[in-house]
Amino acid sequence: MTKKLEEKEIKLIALDMDGTLLNEKGEIPEENKKAIKEAHDQGMHVVLSTGRSIATCRDHAKSLLLKTFLVTVNGSEIWDMNGNLIERNLVEATHIQWMWELAQQHKANMWAASCDQVWIDKMPEDVSKSEWLKFGFHIEDDQVREQVLNSLNEKNCFEISNSSPVNIEVNALGINKAKGLKKVCELLHITMDQVLAAGDSLNDISMIKEAGIGVAMGNAQDIVKQTADVVTLTNNENGVAYAIRKWALKKEVAEVKK
């Protein structure tokens, strides 16, 4: 560990879920649960910062006995642990309609998160009657995915990321996990320099860049590893537990395998 990281006083641990906290089976490994409890016992806040909606992450938060905030849908929503909505940032319905048509044009698989539900490969008849948080494309073909990305970038009105190499996630411009965590830090009266953030995909880069300690998973996309301060083990090797103990709790742990 560099001297700079050794000097960081971590008060909040922000964890992505898929590919990070969860293993390939979609489960939270016991070792990760133990390390999160160790952090709690030291007075640290642990926040799930995820692309998932509240409906698909709340149970995981409860199982970990988390007592703080949840950053969901890549920062589109912030919730407290009593189920109260703190902040919501919407994508314009006209933009959602345009992306739905773009997906159809390229015969791409898609999903879209409204405030009420997640739509997969279909949409309501009248998109304008719902409030929208995110739109996603799942495209295996590299060339088609590049074409869709180019169309999105040309609009210059979206926050574009991914949660796997074959998808594209689209939020309102300026909405990302870092922005959500900054709001949480304000509410807790701490700074982003006191945050350790861990993730594996493009939608994690904003928080990894702005956190005091940015951690890339061993299974992270290469650009995420290049952005992070440090790289931990993979999500199937309890990489979250390793990161918490080594860089937040400052414990002696076995070195990461090269």
End-of-domain residue from the set 172, 194, 227: 172
Measuring CA to CA, which residue among 192, 217, 230, 237 is closest to residue 71? 192
Q: b vs e for 18-35, b when ≥16 Cβ sit within 10 Å of the residue's Cβ?
A: bbbbbbeeeebbebbbeb
Which CATH number is 147's domain given?
Answer: 3.30.1240.10
Q: Are residues 76 and 196 in the same domain?
A: yes
Task: Give me the domain span that covers residue 146.
Answer: 93-172
80 catalytic? Reply is: no
Q: Is residue 256 part of a domain?
A: no
End-of-domain residue from the set 141, 172, 203: 172
Q: b vs e for 118-150, b when ≥16 Cβ sit within 10 Å of the residue's Cβ?
A: bbeeebeeebeebebbbbbbbbeeeeebebbee
Q: Is residue 142 part of a domain?
A: yes
Q: Is residue 253 part of a domain?
A: no
Q: Are residues 82 and 180 in the same domain?
A: yes
Q: Are residues 80 and 100 in the same domain?
A: no
Q: Is residue 255 part of a domain?
A: no
27: left (phi over 0), alpha (psi -120 to 50) or beta: beta
Whole-model pTM?
0.94
What are the distances in angstroms from CA 230 to CA 23, 203, 239?
Answer: 20, 17, 12
pLDDT in 10s for each residue of the chain, 258 residues:
555 777 899 999 999 999 999 999 999 999 999 999 999 999 999 999 999 999 999 999 999 999 899 999 999 999 998 999 999 999 999 999 999 999 999 999 999 999 999 999 999 999 999 999 999 999 999 999 999 999 999 999 999 999 999 999 999 999 999 999 999 999 999 999 999 999 999 999 999 999 999 999 999 999 999 999 999 999 999 999 999 999 999 998 876 554
Q: Are residues 79 and 188 in the same domain?
A: yes
Rounded CA separation 202/188 (Å): 26
End-of-domain residue from the set 152, 172, 192: 172
Please identify which of the residues 16, 18, 204, 229 carries the catalytic annotation: 16
Q: Is residue 257 part of a domain?
A: no
Q: Are residues 7 and 127 in the same domain?
A: no
Q: Is residue 132 part of a domain?
A: yes
What DSSP string runs through 26-86?
Answer: S---HHHHHHHHHHHHTT-EEEEE-SS-GGGTHHHHHHTT--S-EEEGGGTEEE-TTS-EE
Q: Are residues 38 and 98 in the same domain?
A: no
Q: Are residues 243 and 221 in the same domain?
A: yes
- Number of domains observed in the structure of the chain: 2
Q: Are residues 20 and 135 in the same domain?
A: no
Q: Is residue 208 part of a domain?
A: yes
Q: Are residues 79 and 42 in the same domain?
A: yes
